[in-house]
């Protein structure tokens, strides 16, 4: 995962998930996904899509974009729809990996400062502090 993130940042010279996704030719859409769904990633006819719930605050939209980008990079060929309908895999494992990918991507190049908490670091990087469990 670390190598994947480092290669993306080196190639695109940014850790901005929106810019990376755009430059990877991943379509980003904003839609009303209803209660309980913040975003999703899927492939259709060789095209890739990240859909972000349009009612989220900016920090959550950014995090969700990074999370869904994680699915694209870490779980090629697997979509949530496929996991739910075609397999017995535990979707939670893939979600945790995508959350960790998002935190690592969005904090790349930054470190904890003296007397700073993980939540302070996440807040400084506009990452929802609820994602502190995925920082290591």
Query: For 1-44, what is each residue's pLDDT tens digit?
Result: 899 999 999 999 999 999 999 999 999 999 998 888 888 888 88
81-104: average pLDDT: 68
Q: Report pLDDT for 79.
A: 59
Instruction: Domain ranges for the chain, please list them.
Output: 2-134
Of 73, 28, 34, the C-alpha closest to 53 is 34
Helix ranges restricted to H, the chain: 2-12, 17-23, 58-74, 80-86, 91-106, 118-124
**Tally of CB atoms within 10 A around 57:** 10
Q: Report pLDDT for 78.
A: 64
CATH class of 2-134: mainly alpha
CA 29, CA 80: separation in Å to the nearest integer?
A: 17
Q: Given a cut of 50, is residue 87 above it in pLDDT?
A: no
What is residue 56's DSSP assignment? S
Q: Given a cut of 60, is residue 109 above it in pLDDT?
A: yes
Q: Report pLDDT for 76.
A: 76
46-61: average pLDDT: 93
Residues making up the chain, counted from first to last: 136
């Amino acid at each position: 995962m670390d190598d994947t993130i480092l290669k993306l940042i080196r190639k695109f010279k940014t850790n901005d998930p929106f810019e990376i996704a755009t430059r990877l030719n991943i379509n980003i859409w904003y839609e009303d996904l209803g209660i309980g769904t913040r975003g999703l990633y899927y492939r259709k006819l060789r095209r890739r899509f990240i859909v972000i719930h349009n009612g989220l605050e900016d920090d959550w939209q950014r995090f969700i974009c990074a999370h869904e980008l994680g699915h694209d990079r870490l779980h090629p060929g697997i979509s949530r729809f496929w996991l739910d309908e075609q397999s017995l895999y535990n979707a939670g494992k893939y979600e945790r990996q995508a959350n960790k990918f998002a935190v690592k991507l969005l904090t790349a190049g930054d470190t904890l400062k003296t007397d700073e908490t993980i939540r302070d670091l996440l807040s400084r990087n506009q990452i929802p502090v609820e994602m502190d469990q995925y920082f290591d």
